Every structure is written in structure tokens, then in C-alpha cells.
């Protein structure tokens, strides 16, 4: 770089007039601004940036502005959309731009930068999933000339220099990039006579071409030209370069033309929880080293991706409840469940080997036995640790790992010790250790402490988990397979993270989801909500550390419940279900606002509305028992809950004591459900911090509280309800997401996908598109309100499509659940009036999977269970047993194991061929095996001297297929 750190106070006798030009459509009240690293462009203070002026040029709205800078000037810069007060409304994604002026540009010259707005999509090829895995090359490109350098000099007043610059991340060996266009120096559309560009590093190709001013305007396109005359011309309309009509014409034009426009890259993958994988050597559960075998099977089946559920340690309760993978004990620590104990040492004694073999037989069941597996693995690991701890803990590799991870590893090990010592993860029960401090931590982990071996054992386990997962991750990258992780939206309230960073969480609240496809009563996940205001004070360092750790193993990740970064469904800590919550952040209804609308009886609306007739209807003759034990009659036939049972948790506790004393006349579950219904019979939720603020209860029209209101009140509340849930918050939620999500995306170079199912605010998809976040499309849960079944052929490119996911039944189970729905699907989607088969036979599975691989979505990712449905011999297990999660059950046991080993699947060439034919036939990319070459169906054609284009960019000779003859396996769409 030349003078990139130029001092702002430096004076120069030479100055160059730099002009910026960017086409961009704005809304009324919006302007474009350029801000950069040097004083003349605001020193990254957007308020002091250079405001641009709009000019209509044909159909485009072009923003321009200029500034005088010293000769040889250099800086970084970006564009921003601002309002009239220069407040940022939107900013470019991707890397910062670089402005570099050659010393050879003379005093008084005009240099014009022609830029294109950078979207999140422009940065996708540089995410590690593509850059380091799918587009990864075994050969290197040598930089031929540095970025920004100029090799040609201008002679005469009527000449001008055009520097072409294009980003082309996917270039095959011995391939160059050319500009082909209407001018003779651009080959007059002849491929072989085009203008060759030089490689400038970081996937940028550039070249400067000297023309005469009268030569403009010109039309052109970029082309790749490689071995044996193979070439690929970019898609889309011709690019065009023209100059304005002002007297101060530029002599230097620097074109930044964004990405080489290619056909959209599309790939496929398999999804399976780590615990569900079955191999011949595992101990009752999938293990990290089993991923190597899974990757081999994925490659043979044509998959570029393997997707897992969260793999962090969840050992909160010390029982099977910990099988829930979304409630982490630590967002940094890996789960000991996935440790392969056989790989802990090369010299395991025979007695321990025998113990491992016996455990393998004992634990090889239909489902995961979480408690037995954890106990067995930790017991065996402790015995090996006792033999080899000194060797391992003093090794260079462990010391390096420890120094890189001690910030989280020490608190994690101390937490595990205290959890076991106090026999609870509830750190409020830990006496003087309840409040975390650095001093207390250092004493706990000190080398001279009596329990130092216990602390070191936790280090040891994490070290080996790291080694094993790193080995599997490296193997996947080498094989061209993206390993995709999962980022849970919450952490357990009794976790290392809430112990160490209590200020980052709202511990008196609980996280969940409002009623949706999964549960009509909403969901309560039990996690504390985030204190985003506190997190923002250090630029979200906890999140950035979390993503940095994750990127050590994964090249892509799924953001669980991405809606939580716009707004979260917040429940009081005493709630057990997810119905009576509110969004945070959100704009509440004020008491003044409601009073203006004629709403005034706030106690009536915000307290449970319990009348005698309702009690009699719900409980029949049993109602008097309920009234006497749970309620007070505060006026005739009107009741309220007693103090000891006025929350869901209090009701549950009281019911348990009633059951133990045999007072219950009906089942405990039914009574609890009915009492919860009474408690939730409200219309407005009063804010716990400000009693003059209210939130409309979700589905308030379903309550008898609402039904007994007068018509005026009903109409007002219905209107305010609709406004609160669908209009009032949109701008607030958009702003919230644009504060939090970029912090995540910038923390790593992993490819980010967002799980955007459920009640979707209208602001979500535009923000995801802006940030290039890839959404999720499940056919049975269409986002279009008028559709029962999604139409994969109409999905957008920036999506992952799948027939099912871990939160719903498998394809087979879904097919068998509902006969009428099955008939509607067969008629409306399959297009047949025949009676559908009652079982999801392989032909049905093949049809549905083919729909998805042929979709425009960037990724088609299939649960392994849905792929096994392609072959009848794998469908003998009852379909319902293949379900991974039941979202309606907060204490669901996550224990599904695939009933066939990876070794058996590797031998099943018929299944692998069937799957690979689906992938290959859809035009999706697939990883190339060691003895295989991926061939595009359109083969390379004739010699280059026949290839010529007419001025509109269409071919003259030969036929169209030859233009895209180069294999398209590594191309990425540009929006």
C-alpha cells in the first residue's frame, strides 16, 4: 500500500481530485455517504464523511461526490445510507474498500472510482465454507501485480486509463480472467482477442487499459479462459462504461465491478445429531472421530456438507435431562459424551481394554442410554488419566492448548468441581463461591490445592475432545465437506456463563417462543434472556469469543431461532409454559393510550378472570375442591388465586403436595392444565417494572375474559393486538437485529444460516437478505399463509431447503400421521388423484427428495432418516421412533440412534448411488472423490478461433452450450 497511513496534517504541493460514483436507489429522506480511515473522509466518523449527490442517468440513480487529496494518497473507505442528520440507516457488508493512488498520477488530474454497493452476498465466497473447503485449491495463484498499481502511462490530453477490477474467487488451474467487449482493445467480442487481467491477490483480478476519450461508451463482460480452450463468460447483461458530460472529465477510471457473475452454486448435505451416529467402535453414542466415516459416506453420496446439532457440554443435572443439546453448561466446552476413550492413549492396558469391550456390548442399544454412557466414559477416562496425566499435562501440545483456552477452561473446570462438590449446578447454593471472582477462581485451580487432580481431569477431557474434533474437522475440509455446527439461542441459567458473566443475562426471566406450528401453547425453554445493552458495552465480546471458538472446528453454522436476535419471547421466571409472555424489546401499550381508546378497567383485563360458571364448566362437581384449595372468593361468584398458588410454578408445587397427600380427585396433569388455563385467562399483561404499561396476551380472543367484554372494547383490543404483533415493532426489531447480528457475522468467517421458522415479523427476511443470512425452508411449514405445503421450485436462492428437521417428525412419520393430509399432498403436490400409499414407500421419498435437490436453494440438507427412507430395508423400524425431538415436551429425552452403522452404509453402494444420482441430476455440486472427475453435462467444445460474440453479448458461433462448458461445480451467485 502507498501512504495508507498518511498523516492527516501532512501538506502536499500536489493534489488529485478523487471522485466517487455509485449507483444506488434510496427512499425519500435517505442519502449516500462515503466515510474512510483518513481525515478527509471523516476518520471513520460517519457524521464527518463525504455526502454524495444524486444524479439520474438513464434508469439509474447515481450518487457522486469528489474530494481533493494529496498525490500518492491511500486509505480505506465504505459507503453508508444515512438520514438527513447523517444517522446510519444501512451500511455495506464485506471487507473495507481500499483507495490507492499511484505516485504517477499528476497534480490536478481527476480520478473517478466507479463502485457497486457491496451486499452480504458479495462476501459469501470468502466465508470459510467456500474459500477453505468447497473452492479450496491444491495449487496456488501467484500475485502478478499488486493491487492499485498502474503499469501504463497516459500520453496526450485525449487519452484515459481504465482499470478493470473483478473479484473471481473460483478459478480452476491454468485459467485466466479476461475482459471482452465492444472496443478493439477488448477484442471486439472475440474471446481470444480479449484484454487479459493480472492476479492481484485475494481473488482480485485487475488490469489497466488505455483508451481515447472518444472511445466511450463501451460495453463489456468478464470471461474465464482456461485449459484446452475452455472458457466461461459471465452471466447477465453486458456491463457498460460511460463518462458524464461535465468539463472536468476524469483521466483515470477505476472500475470495481464486484463479483464475476456465474450460475448460482448449489450443494447438498446430510443432517444428523452427533449422538445419533452409530459405528462399530462407538460406546453407545456417536463420537467425534466417527465423523471421518460420516464424511466418507457423505462424499460417496454426493454431499458437500454434514450438519450437526449443538455439541457443547450440557452436564447440568447429572441425569438424562442433560440430553437436551440446546441447554449448555458452557458455550465453549465440548461434551464429554462424544469422547472416544480408545483414542485417549496408544498404550491402554489389557484390563481397561476389556472393560471398554464389555461396555461396548452393554451400551449398544436401540437408543442412547445417556446416564450409563456418560458414567462409563468418565470412569474409563479417569483410569487412563491416572496413568498418563503427567505425560499429557506436561506435553507441548497440551501447554499450547491450555494457553490458548485458559480464559474459559479454568472457570469451566472450577465450575465442574463445585457442581460435583455441592451436588448441584445451581451456583446460588454454593455459599461463598456463589459470586464468581478471579481471585476465588485462581485459588480453586491452584496447583497446590488438594483437588488439583480433579481440575486437571476436566482440562484433560477437553484437550482430548479438542484433538478428536479437530482431527475430524480437518479431515472434512480435506475431503471438500463443510462441517456445519449449531449455535443455540440460550444457555442454561445454571451454567458457567451465567456464573462468570451474570451481568450479561436477565436472570429473573425465561426465554421461549410464542404459539406456533410446534406448540399451540408456546414454548418455554427456561434460558435467561440476554442483557443486550450490557453486551454492547464491550462490542459483544462474549458472542465474538463464542463464535471464534466455534470456528476452530466448523466452517458453517446454523443460528438457532434467529428471530431471537430481532426480539425474544420473554416470560417471567415463575412461568412453566410459553403462552403468557411478551416480546423484548417491544413498545408496550401505555395506560394513557388505552384510556384514550375508552379502555379503563385494567385490573379486570390483567388479572385472571375467574367466574363460578367457568369453574363449574371446567371442573364439574370437582369445582368446589378447586375453589377451596386454590382460590379466594373476593366478591360473589368471582375468584382469584391464593398467594401460594398464583403462578404456574406455585400451582405445580401445590398440586404435587396434593397428590402426595391423596387430595387430588382427578389426574394431576389434567388439573394442572386446567388451572394453568384459569391463570392465563387474561387479556393484558401488566409490565412487572412499570404498572402503567401493558402487553396484549397472545391469542387474547380465545379467552373468556375477552369474550365477556362489550363490543367496543373487543374492537379496540383486537386492533391494538394486531398492531402490537404485526406492525408496531417492525422498525425497532430491525434496528435491534442490525446491532446484534453483524457482531456475530464479523466474529468469524464461517458461513451463517438462520433458523427462521415460526411467527416471522415482516422485517426479518429483508434483514437476512441484507446480511446474506441463509434462511430455512421446511415444506410442511410454508412461510406463505395461503399454502399448506411449500413449493420447493419457488424457494429463493438464499435458503436451505429440507423435507423435515430435528424439531418435527421425519418424512416417513409425517406421511403416516394424517391420512387426509396425505391425500391432499398426493393430489396437490404429486399431482395424482389416486389413493396414496399408507406408508412412505421409497418412490414417495424419492419424489420428495428430488423436489428438494432440484429447488433453487443454495443448500438442500436432508436428515439421515429421510435419506434412509429411499431403501425399503431401512424402513423396518417404526417411523415414530426416528423422531429426534418433541418440542411440545420440555423434558423430552434426546436419545435417537440410527439403527444402521456407518460401516454398513459405506458398503451399501446402491443407496449411495441413488442419492448421488439425485444430487448429480439436479445440477448441484458434489465433492470429487480420489479417482473421480466431476464432469459437467455440457462438454467443452471447439477451438477458440471460432468463438466470437455479437455486440449485444450473444453468441454468433458456436452454439450456446459452449459458453458455459467449464464445469460449474464451484460457482456462486451474485445478487
- Domain segments of the chain: what residues? 15-259, 268-507, 508-581+728-761, 582-727
pLDDT score at 936: 41
Task: Give phi and psi for 342, each to the nearest 5.
Answer: -65, -25
pLDDT score at 664: 64
Contact 209, 943 (CB under 8 A): no
Burial group, residue 591, by CB count within 10 angstroms (0-12, 13-18, 19+) = middle
The CATH number, out of the four listed (3.20.20.80, 3.30.1280.10, 3.40.50.10490, 3.40.50.1110), of the domain defined by the range 268-507:
3.20.20.80
Alpha-carbon gap, residue 251 to 632, rounded angstroms: 87
Contact 105, 93 (CB under 8 A): no
In sequence order, the 6+-apart residues with CB closer than 8 A to the CB of 797 are: 264, 856, 857, 858, 973, 975
Domains 15-259 and 268-507 share a fold: no
pLDDT digits (tens, 9 = 90+) for 105-153: 888 889 999 999 998 888 899 899 999 999 987 777 888 877 767 766 7
Mean predicted confidence (pLDDT) in 15-29: 93
Mean predicted lDDT score pLDDT of the chain: 90
| pLDDT tops 70 at residue 959 | no
Mean predicted confidence (pLDDT) in 600-625: 92
Alpha-carbon gap, residue 746 to 166, rounded angstroms: 23
Mean predicted confidence (pLDDT) in 513-520: 79
pLDDT digits (tens, 9 = 90+) for 870-926: 999 999 999 999 999 998 888 899 999 999 999 999 999 999 999 999 999 999 999
pTM attached to this predicted model: 0.89
In sequence order, the 6+-apart residues with CB closer than 8 A to the CB of 185 are: 195, 209, 211
Which fold does the domain 15-259 belong to in CATH?
Answer: Immunoglobulin-like (2.60.40)
Angle at alpha carbon of residue 602, lines to 597 and 608, rounded to 5°: 130
- All 3 cell numbers of residue 258? 464486484
pLDDT score at 142: 84
Mean predicted confidence (pLDDT) in 829-839: 93
Q: How far is CA 153 from CA 68, 165, 214, 585, 590, in A?
A: 22, 18, 18, 58, 69
Contact 926, 304 (CB under 8 A): yes
| pLDDT tops 90 at residue 52 | yes
Band (938; pLDDT cuts 50, 70, 90): very low
Alpha-carbon gap, residue 678 to 674, rounded angstroms: 6
Mean predicted confidence (pLDDT) in 865-871: 98
Amino acid at each position: 500500500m502507498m501512504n495508507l497511513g498518511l498523516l492527516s496534517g501532512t501538506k502536499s504541493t500536489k493534489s488529485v481530485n478523487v471522485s466517487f460514483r455509485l449507483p444506488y436507489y434510496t427512499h425519500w429522506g435517505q442519502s449516500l455517504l462515503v466515510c474512510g480511515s483518513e481525515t478527509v473522509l471523516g476518520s471513520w466518523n460517519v457524521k464527518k464523511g463525504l455526502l454524495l449527490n444524486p444524479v439520474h442517468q438513464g434508469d439509474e440513480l447515481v450518487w457522486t461526490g469528489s474530494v481533493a487529496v494529496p498525490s500518492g494518497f491511500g486509505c480505506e473507505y465504505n459507503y453508508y445510507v444515512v438520514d438527513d442528520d447523517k444517522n446510519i440507516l444501512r451500511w455495506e457488508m464485506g471487507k473495507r474498500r481500499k483507495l490507492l493512488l499511484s505516485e504517477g498520477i499528476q497534480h490536478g488530474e481527476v480520478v473517478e472510482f466507479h463502485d457497486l454497493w457491496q451486499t452480504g452476498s458479495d462476501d459469501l465466497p470468502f466465508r470459510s465454507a467456500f474459500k477453505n473447503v468447497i473452492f479450496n485449491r491444491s495449487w496456488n495463484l501467484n500475485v502478478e501485480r499488486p493491487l492499485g498499481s498502474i503499469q501504463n502511462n497516459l500520453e496526450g490530453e485525449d487519452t484515459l486509463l481504465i482499470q478493470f477490477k473483478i473479484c473471481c474467487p473460483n478459478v480452476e488451474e491454468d485459467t485466466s480472467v479476461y475482459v471482452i467487449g465492444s472496443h478493439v482493445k477488448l477484442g471486439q467480442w472475440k474471446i481470444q482477442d480479449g484484454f487479459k487481467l493480472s492476479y492481484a491477490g485475494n481473488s482480485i483480478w485487475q488490469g489497466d487499459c488505455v483508451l481515447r476519450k472518444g472511445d466511450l461508451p463501451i460495453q463489456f463482460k468478464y470471461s474465464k479462459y482456461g485449459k484446452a480452450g475452455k472458457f466461461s463468460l459471465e452471466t447477465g447483461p453486458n456491463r457498460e462504461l460511460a463518462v458524464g458530460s461535465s468539463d472536468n472529465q476524469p483521466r483515470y477510471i477505476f472500475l470495481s465491478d464486484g463479483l464475476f457473475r456465474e450460475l448460482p452454486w448449489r450443494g447438498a448435505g446430510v443432517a444428523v445429531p452427533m449422538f445419533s451416529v452409530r459405528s462399530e467402535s462407538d460406546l453407545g453414542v456417536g463420537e467425534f472421530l466417527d465423523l471421518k466415516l460420516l464424511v466418507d459416506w457423505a462424499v460417496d453420496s454426493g454431499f458437500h456438507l454434514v450438519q450437526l446439532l449443538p455439541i457443547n457440554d450440557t452436564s447440568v443435572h447429572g441425569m438424562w435431562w442433560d440430553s437436551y443439546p440446546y441447554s449448555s453448561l458452557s458455550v465453549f466446552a465440548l461434551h464429554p459424551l462424544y469422547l472416544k476413550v480408545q483414542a485417549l492413549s496408544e498404550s491402554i492396558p489389557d484390563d481397561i481394554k476389556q472393560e471398554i469391550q464389555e461396555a461396548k456390548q452393554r451400551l449398544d442399544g436401540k437408543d442412547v442410554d445417556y446416564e450409563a454412557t456418560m458414567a462409563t466414559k468418565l470412569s474409563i477416562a479417569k483410569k487412563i488419566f491416572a496413568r498418563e496425566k503427567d505425560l499429557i499435562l506436561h506435553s507441548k501440545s497440551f501447554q499450547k492448548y491450555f494457553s490458548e483456552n485458559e480464559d474459559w477452561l479454568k472457570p469451566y473446570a472450577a465450575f465442574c468441581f463445585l457442581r460435583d462438590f455441592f451436588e448441584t449446578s445451581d451456583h446460588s447454593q454454593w455459599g461463598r463461591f456463589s459470586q464468581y471472582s478471579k481471585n476465588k477462581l485462581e485459588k480453586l485451580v491452584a496447583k497446590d490445592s488438594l483437588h488439583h487432580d480433579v481440575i486437571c481431569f476436566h482440562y484433560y477431557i477437553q484437550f482430548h475432545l479438542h484433538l478428536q474434533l479437530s482431527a475430524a474437522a480437518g479431515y472434512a475440509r480435506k475431503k471438500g465437506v463443510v462441517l456445519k455446527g449449531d449455535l443455540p439461542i440460550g444457555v442454561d441459567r445454571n451454567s458457567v456463563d451465567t456464573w462468570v458473566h451474570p451481568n450479561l443475562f436477565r436472570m429473573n426471566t425465561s426465554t421461549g417462543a410464542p404459539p406456533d406450528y410446534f406448540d399451540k401453547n408456546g414454548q418455554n425453554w427456561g434460558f435467561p434472556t440476554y442483557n443486550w445493552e450490557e453486551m454492547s458495552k464491550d462490542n459483544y465480546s462474549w458472542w465474538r469469543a463464542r463464535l471464534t471458538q466455534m470456528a476452530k472446528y466448523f466452517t458453517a453454522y446454523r443460528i438457532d431461532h434467529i428471530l431471537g436476535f430481532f426480539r425474544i419471547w420473554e416470560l417471567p421466571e415463575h412461568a412453566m409454559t410459553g403462552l403468557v409472555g411478551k416480546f423484548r424489546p417491544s413498545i408496550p401499550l401505555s395506560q394513557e393510550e388505552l384510556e384514550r381508546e375508552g379502555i379503563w378497567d385494567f385490573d379486570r383485563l390483567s388479572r385472571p378472570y375467574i367466574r363460578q360458571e367457568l369453574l363449574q364448566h371446567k371442573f364439574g362437581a370437582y369445582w368446589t375442591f378447586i375453589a377451596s384449595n386454590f382460590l379466594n372468593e373476593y366478591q360473589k361468584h368471582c375468584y382469584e388465586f391464593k398467594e401460594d398458588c398464583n403462578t404456574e410454578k406455585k400451582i405445580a408445587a401445590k398440586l404435587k403436595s396434593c397428590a402426595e397427600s391423596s387430595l387430588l380427585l382427578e389426574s394431576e396433569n389434567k388439573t394442572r392444565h386446567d388451572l394453568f388455563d384459569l391463570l392465563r385467562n387474561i387479556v393484558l399483561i401488566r409490565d412487572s417494572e412499570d404498572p402503567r404499561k401493558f402487553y396484549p396476551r397472545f391469542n387474547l380472543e380465545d379467552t373468556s375474559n375477552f369474550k365477556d367484554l362489550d363490543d367496543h372494547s373487543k374492537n379496540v383490543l383486537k386492533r391494538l393486538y394486531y398492531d402490537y404483533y404485526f406492525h408496531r415493532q417492525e422498525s425497532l426489531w430491525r434496528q435491534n437485529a442490525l446491532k446484534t447480528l453483524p457482531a456475530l457475522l464479523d466474529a468469524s468467517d464461517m458461513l451463517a444460516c438462520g433458523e427462521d421458522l415460526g411467527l416471522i415479523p415482516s422485517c426479518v427476511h429483508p434483514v437476512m437478505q441484507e446480511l446474506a443470512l441463509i434462511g430455512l425452508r421446511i415444506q410442511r411449514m410454508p412461510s406463505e399463509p395461503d399454502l399448506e405445503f411449500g413449493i420447493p421450485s419457488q424457494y429463493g436462492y438464499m435458503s436451505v431447503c429440507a423435507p423435515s428437521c430435528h424439531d418435527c417428525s421425519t418424512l416417513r412419520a409425517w406421511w403416516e400421521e394424517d391420512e387426509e393430509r396425505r391425500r391432499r399432498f398426493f393430489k396437490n403436490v404429486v399431482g395424482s388423484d389416486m389413493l396414496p400409499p399408507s406408508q412412505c414407500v421409497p418412490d414417495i421419498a424419492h419424489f420428495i427428495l428430488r423436489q428438494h435437490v432440484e429447488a433453487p436453494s443454495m443448500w438442500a440438507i436432508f436428515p439421515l432418516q429421510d435419506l434412509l427412507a429411499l431403501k425399503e430395508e431401512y424402513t423396518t423400524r417404526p417411523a415414530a421412533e426416528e423422531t429426534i425431538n418433541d418440542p411440545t415436551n420440555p423434558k423430552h429425552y434426546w436419545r435417537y440412534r440410527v439403527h444402521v452403522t456407518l460401516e454398513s452404509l459405506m458398503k451399501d453402494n446402491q443407496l449411495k448411488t441413488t442419492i448421488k444420482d439425485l444430487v448429480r441430476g439436479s445440477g448441484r455440486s458434489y465433492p470429487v472423490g480420489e479417482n473421480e472427475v466431476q464432469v459437467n453435462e455440457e462438454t467443452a467444445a471447439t477451438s477458440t478461433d471460432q468463438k466470437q460474440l455479437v455486440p449485444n453479448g450473444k453468441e454468433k458461433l458456436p452454439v450456446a452450450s459452449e459458453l458455459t462448458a467449464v464445469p460449474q461445480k464451484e460457482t456462486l451467485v451474485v445478487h
